[in-house]
Structure formats: C-alpha cells, structure tokens
Amino acid sequence: MKVKVSQLEPCRKLLKIEIPKEVVEEELDKVYQDINKVAQIPGFRKGKAPRRILEQHHSKTAKDEILKKLIPSGYSKAIREHRIMPVSAPEIGQVKLIEDQPLYFEVTIDVEPEVKLKRYKDIKIKKRVPKTTDKDVEEALSNLRERYAEYKPIEDREIKEEDYVIVDYEAQVDNETVDKREKIWFHIKIDKNKPNEIIKNLIGAKIGDEVKAREQANKKALIKVNVKEIREKHIPKLDEEFIKTVGDYKSVDELKEALREDIKKRKEQEVKFEVENQLFDSLIKLNPLDVPPSMVRRQTDELVKSAKSRLMYQGLKEEDITSREETLRKNLAKEAEKQVKLYFILDRIAEEEDIKVNDEDLKERLDNIAKQNKTEPEKIKEYLTKNNSLNSLKSQINHEKVIDFLLNEAKIKVQRTGLKD
C-alpha cells in the first residue's frame, strides 16, 4: 500500500492512499464468492453462476462492498503506519476503482497540533486576598429576606408606587396586534433615567382597569394592559420565626456566621478562578499553537448548548433563546479556542513532567461524585464507563494535577487591594 501525506494547514493533513490491484482482486474474489451463495440468476443454481455472469448482474454491489471494506482498512493502516492522531472524522474523496488498477482514494483529516513547549514555569501571577466584611453579611442577609418575601393580594385600593401588578398585556402597531401575553408582572417603580409611560399610567388604576400608553422607542406602538391583580411586597422580619424558616439556626448571630462562611468560600473561589485564568492566559501567550478548527467548532457547540440551558433555566422562552444563538456562538468562539489550546498545552506538560492519574486519584474523585449524588462509587464508574466518559474524567483529573503543579511553580504576588494595583 502506498501512502503520501501532505500538510494542508497546521492541523490538517491530506492522505493519498493507493491499495495494490492484487489486494483489490483478492477481496473482489471473496465478495463475488459471497454474492454467488445468495444470488438468484436465471438458468443457474445458487453458487453455480460463472464469475463473468455475476459481474454482469452484480458489479455495482461488488464494487460497493469492496469500497466499504478496503477504504476503512486502508485508512486505519495508513494512520497507524504514519503515526497520525486524527481529531475529526475522515473526509473521503477522489475515489477511483478501475478494473486491473489499484484502488485510489484521498482522506482529509484534522490532526492533533504539535505542541512545542517554550515556557510554563515561573509564571508571574497576582493574587488578591479576599476580605469578608460586615457589609457583605448584611447584604447577604437582606437578599435572603428578599427571597422569602411574600406578595400579598390587595383588593380595595388604587395602584401606588412599589406595588406589583399582574396584567394581561397587548402590543399593537397600526391597530394590529403584534404581541399578546397573559399574567405579566410589573413592578411599579418610577425611574427618572428610564421613563416608562405604562408604569406611570398604572399608578392610580384599580383592578379591572385598562391602561394604555405609547411605547417610547416606537411611538406607533400602542401598549394596552388590563389590571388583574395588585400585590404588596412584604419582607419577613429578622426574628426567630424567620431563621427557623431558612435553616436549623438557633439565633440571628448563628445565621450571620453561616452567611459569612458562605461569602468567604465564594470569594475564595472567585480568587481561585482569577488566578487560574491568569495562568491559562500566560500559558497560551508563552506557548503559541494552532488548533484544529473542527475541535473549536465542537467546543463552541458545547458552550452554546450550556449557555442555552442556563437561559432556559432563567425562564427565557425557547424562541427568544433561539434568536440569540448566533450571537452566543460568535461570543463564545474565542473562549472555545482558548479551551482547546489549553487542553493540548496541559496534556503536553503532563507528558513532559510525567504527571499521571493513578488509581487512588480516580477512586477519590469517584467517591466525591458518589457522595454528591448520594449513590455508590461503583455505580458512578459503571455509568461513566457505559457512556464512554471515564477517560474524560481521567483527563480532567490529570489537568487539575498539572494546574496544581504549575501554580506551585508560579511566582505568585499576593496583594490586598485588587489585581490592578
């Protein structure tokens, strides 16, 4: 078998493969023998038709079978012999199968980049020291009380500022309805910087009233709302009853201490994220490389999928999320490229420093996942193996070990007033 490999782009190769005619003929004999066992040809019993007769009736089937067998096996042998590591499905083209000639075809594939490490130790990083203040705790406490707020119905008065109203909503342009929704909530709050005519006109209205206003951005658009409910927001008092509602706390001070600890952990996580991002940006800058476009596209798809799930969880409608998809893809493509570059750099550093995942590392991670999901580690391992995700988990653990190694090797400057100082 002859194979000629050429570089199309930094991470894209073209393989020109030629399989000898003797191999093609040998496989063709086997194919026609199989066809002869089942072929029904007038004048001949099964298995007794001459080769030339079979060729007259089944040459296309035979050719298709030859291509199905020899192209995959030829491609697999070619990448093994030339130690090529594909990261995309092969694109087959220029297939030529002519009688008494070799089988010729071309394969285009994306391949792993060649990572030439230049520098990854002694990276300079600024690390701020997070501080949890009493103000942080009071804000957290206020937010917690907000989450437990009750919206009590009001029957016998007009709408006033700071009320919440539930309305049926309709937007018209040139007397034609362009948007219509039921049970929409409005917070009646006047913002002098962003005047809203419909909010202003709702003040003084009662249940059952219809309120109209022209849209600020488009004066041709008429907004009509029919008031269905008026509600008053009641924030719970910070008392013994409230702290029992939110958790098993004995006093307000105990609740505050729990909030302080949560804030501290969150801020420490933010600092960890900042430090790692500085490390990642430096690694990519100090060790430039090209990465396969197909991998960047796949990673972009994953990031877009995750972003859409978050938007759906936040309550956005499916059509609104779909309309944002192109913008999401454009915004996330750069991050996807960064993640793919980082993947290969961390892999190469692991190889260089002989950093590996051992059985104990995997066991510890499986135990943690099992604990979070309230199940057995073996069930988690079985699930990951079944879904071909165990190697991905090992790779994740390996990269985490590399990151820990790099941070131990980095020159970290601790500062107490922020990253820009």
For residue 71, give the CATH number of its domain: 3.30.70.1050
At residue 43, the 3 state secondary structure works out as coil
Name the percent of the chain in helix, strand, coil, to the closest 5.
Answer: 50, 20, 30
Give 254-271 pLDDT, tens digit per residue: 999 999 999 999 999 999
The mean predicted confidence, pLDDT, of the chain is: 89
Task: Find the range with the poorest average confidence among 44-53, 164-173, 234-243, 345-354.
Answer: 44-53
At residue 233, the 3 state secondary structure works out as strand
Do both 88 and 158 map to the same domain? no
Range of the domain at 176: 150-234
Distance CA(258)–CA(235), nearest Å, equals 21
Q: What is the pLDDT of residue 167?
A: 96
Residue 242 maps to a domain: no
Distance CA(103)–CA(1), nearest Å, equals 10
Share of the chain above pLDDT 90, in %: 68
Give Cβ neighbours of residue 310 (< 8 Å, ≥ 6 apart): none
Q: What is the pLDDT of residue 47?
A: 60
How many alpha carbons fall within 13 Å on the CB side of residue 68? 7
Give the domain CATH number at 165: 3.10.50.30
Closest CA to 343 of 407, 283, 282: 283
Task: Please determine, for residue 380, whether its predicted confidence score (pLDDT) is greater than 80.
Answer: yes
Residue 276 maps to a domain: no
Closest CA to 227 of 160, 147, 317, 315: 160
Task: Please determine, for residue 419, whether its predicted confidence score (pLDDT) is greater than 50.
Answer: no
Distance CA(322)–CA(318), nearest Å, equals 6
Q: What is the pLDDT of residue 40?
A: 62
Task: Please determine, for residue 214, whether its predicted confidence score (pLDDT) is greater than 50.
Answer: yes
- 252-280 residues labelled b (16+ CB within 10 A) or e (exposed): eeebbebbbeebeeebeeeeeebbeebbb
Residue 217 has phi, psi (to 5 degrees) of -75, -30
Mean pLDDT, residues 132-161: 94
Task: Please determine, for residue 382, whether its predicted confidence score (pLDDT) is greater than 70.
Answer: yes
Residue carrying the six token digits 């199905």:
68
* Final residue of a structural domain among 208, 234, 260: 234
Q: Strands, DSSP E only, in 246-379?
A: none
Residue 118 maps to a domain: no
Share of the chain above pLDDT 70, in %: 92
Amino acid at 90: P
Residue carrying the six token digits 């290969």:
344
Distance CA(400)–CA(80), nearest Å, equals 30
Do both 18 and 99 map to the same domain? yes
Mean pLDDT, residues 3-9: 92
Give 91-128 pLDDT, tens digit per residue: 999 999 888 889 999 999 999 998 999 999 999 999 99
* Final residue of a structural domain among 178, 204, 234: 234
Distance CA(304)–CA(326), nearest Å, equals 9
Tell which wins on pLDDT, 364 or 50. Answer: 364
Distance CA(95)–CA(105), nearest Å, equals 4
- 25-54 residues labelled b (16+ CB within 10 A) or e (exposed): eebbeebbeebbeebebeeeeeeebeeebb
Give 33-53 pLDDT, tens digit per residue: 776 666 666 666 666 666 666
Task: Find the range with the poorest average confidence among 58-62, 299-303, 388-392.
Answer: 58-62
Confidence tier at 418 by pLDDT (50, 70, 90): very low
